[in-house]
Amino acid sequence: MSRRVVITGGASGLGLAMAETFRDAGDRVAVCDADPAAVAAVDPAIRAEVADVTDEAAMGGFLARVEADWGGAEVVISNAGIGGPAGAVEELAFDDWRRCLSVNLDGAFLTCRWAARVMKGQGAGLILLTSSVSGLFGFPWRTPYVAAKWGIVGLTKALASELGPHGVRVNAICPGAVEGPRMDRVVAMEAAAQGRSEAEVRAGFTEGVALRRFVTAGEVAAMALFLASPGAAGISGQALAVDGHTERTT
Ligand code: NAD
């Protein structure tokens, strides 16, 4: 049966990979994203709107339109996130800290609040949140992002307990470093913050991974598709890593 799938930050990167994977599985997919150019480029078979996840009114409008047209959703993926600043904690600006927590956590709250109401009414559903290996380890120089992604795991655990009795599953996916432009930006930012070359920083990432490579967006999307499948009906409250087995962080 075709599922109704809502994804935030779904116009590029992992969100888009997940949107295209569910589309290819025959599902109806709606995404929102803060980047109008990326939204305009999304396949018209995927419903795409501009909305910033930190903007309560904009998110309320997007979700209300989906609900009015579709009546609900089987899968809601709170995925929008930003990497935040890199640097020694004493040098970070409060505004950068707040922005990182806001996009990653306020956005998840607004998305999950809607999903919880809709799915409790349905008596079924899956909420997926994108955390990170940064939600499983304590990476240095990335304190706002790490705090936000551990927060996502906490939100996942609490919501799984709260919504489980209503038939709603809640899980977090924790991607490791994903091949693509976002990791290219993170590597460049950390190299600048630490005074090291980009090659050194990249090697540092892969040396800490048992498979000695970054994962792909397709591998993360495959996990999302599995978690939405009947075979995953018993899985809730979990933070599942797709990370090539990340063993250390520096
Ligand atoms: P990305 O930058 O390629 O894509 C993120 C998308 O979210 C973009 O389209 C962007 O426009 C959108 N977005 C950003 N801020 C937004 C906002 N306020 N409201 C709505 N949309 C917004 O990044 P990605 O790698 O695809 O990241 C997706 C998620 O995966 C994030 O939560 C990120 O923290 C997480 N993650 C990424 C990696 C990685 O290596 N790429 C690893 C672990 C976790």
Q: What is the CA(82)–ligand 1 centre distance, in A?
A: 5
Give me the mean pLDDT over the 16-24 stretch: 98
pLDDT at 250 over 70: no
CA distance 7 to 173: 14
Q: Are 168 and 127 in contact (CB under 8 A)?
A: yes
The residue whose CB lies within 8 Å of the most ligand 1 atoms, and thus the one to mutate among 139, 178, 209, 246, is 178
Q: Which of 104-108, 123-127, 194-198 has the lowest mean pLDDT?
A: 194-198
Which band of pLDDT confidence, cut at 50, 70 and 90, is reported for residue 248?
confident
pLDDT at 14 over 90: yes
User: Does 153 qualify as catalytic in the annotation?
Assistant: no
Q: What is the mean pLDDT of the chain?
A: 96
Q: What is the CA(146)–ligand 1 centre distance, in A?
A: 14
Domains and CATH numbers, the chain: 4-178+217-242 (3.40.50.720)
Predicted local confidence at residue 176, as pLDDT: 96
What one-letter code names the amino acid at 66?
Answer: V
Give me the mean pLDDT over the 202-223 stretch: 95
Q: Report percent pLDDT > 90 for the chain.
A: 93
The per-residue DSSP string of 143-159 comes to HHHHHHHHHHHHHHHHH
| Structure-token pair, residue 14 | 């992992």
Using alpha carbons, select from 77, 75, 64 the residue that is nearest to residue 9: 77
Q: What is the CA(28)–ligand 1 centre distance, in A?
A: 21
Spatial neighbors of 192 by CB under 8 A, at least 6 apart, are 86
Give me the mean pLDDT over the 91-102 stretch: 98
Predicted local confidence at residue 182, as pLDDT: 84
Predicted local confidence at residue 190, as pLDDT: 84
pLDDT at 42 over 70: yes
CA distance 156 to 104: 13
pLDDT at 134 over 80: yes
pLDDT at 5 over 90: yes
Q: Report percent pLDDT > 70 for the chain.
A: 99
Predicted local confidence at residue 186, as pLDDT: 83
pLDDT tens-digit series, residues 161-195: 999 999 999 999 999 999 998 889 889 988 998 89
pLDDT at 109 over 80: yes
List all residues whose CB is within 6 A of at least one atom of ligand 1.
8-9, 11-15, 33-35, 38, 52-54, 79-82, 103, 107, 130, 132, 175, 177-178, 182-183
Give me the mean pLDDT over the 101-123 stretch: 98
CA distance 145 to 89: 12
Spatial neighbors of 113 by CB under 8 A, at least 6 apart, are none
The answer to whether the predicted template modeling score (pTM) of the entire model surpasses 0.75 is yes
Which band of pLDDT confidence, cut at 50, 70 and 90, is reported for residue 2?
very high
Give me the mean pLDDT over the 215-224 stretch: 98
CA distances from 179 to 36, 46, 94, 143 (A): 23, 24, 30, 22
